[in-house]
């Protein structure tokens, strides 16, 4: 039977009925027009008039939504795709096309050796990496409708471990153990390209901050604040240390080691050193036990710690003052010697630079350089308290700061060489270093924040 061209006389109603019956059977308007004996353009025109909308890409027979639902139900029940196509009454070509469009990953076959693995061996560590057998078990549990938390409980695993594994092996529709295993194997491959080697921008940023004498931990914390929306510019402090000490060869290690502020070629073991005995000044002092209790928790700014760092042969020294709450540093120039008279003169000149509201107390050790402490208090209004013998931890902030200052003023050098201008420059550099305890704000920023907030001082005077 030939097809009638468009624009011909009015067709019998039976032709339209045959056309719509063919469309209802799953044929496209063009194919249905052929069945009805009319031109394809005529069939498409009828379909358009009736508001019919088909798929932009059509392959052969159009299957109903119900047939699709039956097919996917069978596939999710672990029925092979070819058999699921038979159950749904669709062609294998259509089934393969649907699977491809959905990026379907076939169900992972359960390994034959799974029965040989003891249950206690699988659940010995709740946060240990999953084995392939466990991934297959997880896939089964999820297919049977168990939520992740319940699957974790049944497998004797932590829920976070299971949630991470589901994200690792997730396809567009379901979790697949085979995909999770492939991703885990790829992540486990060694050797890996180190992050600082693979990212030149991050490497340059780390080197620049090391050259300004920021520690690796300070760099790691500050990078997250300076680049909050760019995880590629984040790095852990351990990664920086690893690049310096664990991978000792290559240009990267050379650059990093030369910029590291300590200059050490090996990592320093962690531990406490024995406290050396020192001569201390004990006459007329007020002990730390009488210091205001508000100084203990660092909540109220204005409580300082002080000490001297000594030069070659103990003939020269620099005075150090550190504010306990912010870590803000001030340095004292001591020309010629570090006698009590020289220290008192330097303190009397420097302390008035501190705002009066921040002159609450000063804690010092029992050194003879503070023999004129009463004169200092009378001249500046700053009360001075002395630590217990052999107790440097009572000035922990100052001890830590003195260690940082040694990168500028190494032991065994003449500290009288450095003038007050250079000391002020070093103090400014230390006060511009980000600190972990201030959420990576600098001491200068923290001090400015506290000074600009009057409520900070209300609690202190209440």
Extract the residue ranges of the chain whose pLDDT is less than 70: 1-9, 26, 53-61, 107, 109-126, 190-191, 245-284, 454-462
Residues 382 and 306 in one domain: yes
Q: What is the pLDDT of residue 273?
A: 40
Task: State pLDDT tens for residues 305-342.
Answer: 999 999 888 889 999 999 999 999 999 999 888 899 99
Residues 54 and 69 in one domain: no
Cis peptide before 191 (omega within 30 of 0): yes
Looking at the structure of the chain, the number of domains it has is 5
Residues 398 and 435 in one domain: yes
Q: What is the pLDDT of residue 269?
A: 59
Whole-prediction pTM value? 0.47
- For the chain, the farthest-separated pair of C-alpha atoms sits apart, in whole angstroms, at 125
Residues 448 and 304 in one domain: yes
Distance, in Å, from the CA atom of 73 to the CA atom of 76, rounded to the nearest integer, reads 5
Residues 183 and 200 in one domain: no
Distance, in Å, from the CA atom of 118 to the CA atom of 84, rounded to the nearest integer, reads 35
Distance, in Å, from the CA atom of 220 to the CA atom of 238, rounded to the nearest integer, reads 9
Task: State pLDDT tens for residues 346-372.
Answer: 999 999 999 888 899 999 988 888 888
Residues 233 and 375 in one domain: no
Is residue 162, in this structure, part of any structural domain at all? yes
Range of the domain at 235: 195-259
Is residue 359, in this structure, part of any structural domain at all? yes
Q: Where would I find the beta strands (DSSP E) of 105-210?
A: none
Is residue 312, in this structure, part of any structural domain at all? yes
Helix (H) or strand (E) holding 195: helix 195-198
Decide which of 188, 209, 233 is a domain's last residue: 188
Decide which of 101, 129, 157 is a domain's last residue: 101
Catalogue the long-range contacts made by 449-458 (C-beta closer than 8 Å, 24 or more residues apart): 450/301, 450/325, 450/326, 451/355, 451/358, 456/300, 456/301, 457/300, 457/357
Task: State pLDDT tens for residues 72-94.
Answer: 888 777 778 888 888 887 777 78
Query: Do 355 and 327 contact (CB within 8 A), yes or no?
Result: no
Residues 179 and 293 in one domain: no
Q: Read out DSSP for 140-153?
A: HHHHTT--HHHHHH
Decide which of 188, 206, 229 is a domain's last residue: 188
Is residue 166, in this structure, part of any structural domain at all? yes
Residue written as tokens 């196509």? Answer: 85
Is residue 270, in this structure, part of any structural domain at all? no
Q: What is the pLDDT of residue 268?
A: 61
Distance, in Å, from the CA atom of 78 to the CA atom of 61, rounded to the nearest integer, reads 26
Residues 321 and 454 in one domain: yes
Residues 57 and 90 in one domain: no
Residues 355 and 435 in one domain: yes
Residues 371 and 233 in one domain: no
Query: Do 294 and 384 contact (CB within 8 A), yes or no?
Result: no
Is residue 133, in this structure, part of any structural domain at all? yes
Is residue 394, in this structure, part of any structural domain at all? yes
b (16+ CB within 10 A) / e for 251-290:
ebbebbbebbbeeeeeeeeeeeeeeeeeebbeeebeebee
Residues 125 and 151 in one domain: yes
Is residue 357, in this structure, part of any structural domain at all? yes
Q: Return the SS3 of 441.
A: strand
Sheet strand arrangement including 329-333: 329-333, 317-323, 303-310, 361-364, 384-386
Q: What is the pLDDT of residue 6?
A: 52
């Amino acid at each position: 039977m030939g097809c009638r061209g468009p624009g011909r006389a009015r067709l019998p109603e039976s032709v339209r009925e045959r056309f719509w019956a063919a469309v209802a059977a799953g044929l496209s308007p063009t194919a249905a027009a052929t069945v009805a004996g009319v031109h394809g353009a005529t069939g498409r025109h009828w379909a358009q008039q009736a508001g019919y909308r088909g798929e932009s890409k059509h392959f052969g027979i159009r299957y109903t939504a119900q047939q699709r639902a039956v097919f996917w139900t069978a596939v999710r029940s672990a029925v092979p795709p070819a058999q699921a196509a038979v159950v749904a009454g669709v062609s294998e070509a259509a089934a393969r096309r649907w699977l491809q469009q959905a990026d379907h990953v076939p169900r992972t076959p359960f390994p034959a050796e799974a029965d040989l693995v003891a249950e206690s061996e699988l659940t010995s560590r709740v946060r240990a990496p999953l084995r392939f057998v466990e991934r297959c078990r997880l896939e089964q549990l999820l297919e049977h409708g168990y939520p992740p938390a319940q699957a974790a409980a049944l497998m004797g695993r932590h829920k976070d471990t299971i949630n991470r594994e589901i994200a690792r092996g997730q396809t567009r529709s379901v979790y697949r153990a085979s995909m999770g295993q492939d991703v885990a194997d790829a992540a486990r491959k060694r050797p890996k390209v180190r992050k600082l080697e693979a990212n030149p921008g991050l490497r340059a940023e780390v080197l620049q901050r090391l050259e300004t004498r920021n520690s690796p931990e300070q760099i790691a914390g500050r990078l997250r604040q300076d680049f909050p929306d760019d995880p590629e510019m984040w790095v852990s402090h351990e990664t920086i240390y690893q690049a310096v000490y664990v991978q000792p060869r290559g240009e990267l290690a050379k650059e990093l080691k030369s910029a590291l502020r300590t200059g050490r070629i090996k990592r320093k073991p962690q531990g406490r050193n024995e406290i050396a005995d020192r001569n201390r000044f004990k006459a007329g002092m007020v002990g730390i036990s009488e210091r205001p209790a508000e100084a203990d928790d660092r909540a109220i700014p204005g409580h300082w710690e002080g000490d001297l760092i000594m030069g070659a042969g103990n003939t020269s020294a620099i005075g150090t003052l550190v504010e306990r709450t912010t870590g803000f540093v001030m340095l004292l120039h001591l020309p010629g010697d570090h006698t009590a008279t020289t220290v008192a003169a330097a303190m009397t000149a420097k302390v008035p630079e501190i705002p009066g509201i921040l002159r609450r107390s000063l804690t010092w050790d029992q050194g003879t350089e503070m023999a004129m402490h009463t004169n200092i208090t009378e001249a500046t209004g700053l009360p001075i308290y002395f630590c217990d013998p052999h107790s440097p931890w009572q000035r922990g902030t100052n001890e830590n700061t003195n260690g940082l200052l040694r990168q500028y003023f190494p032991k065994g050098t003449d500290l009288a060489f450095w003038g007050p201008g250079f000391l002020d420059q070093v103090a400014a550099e230390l006060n511009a270093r980000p600190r972990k305890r201030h959420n990576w704000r600098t001491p200068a920023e923290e001090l400015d924040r506290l000074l600009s907030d009057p409520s900070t001082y209300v609690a202190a005077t209440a």
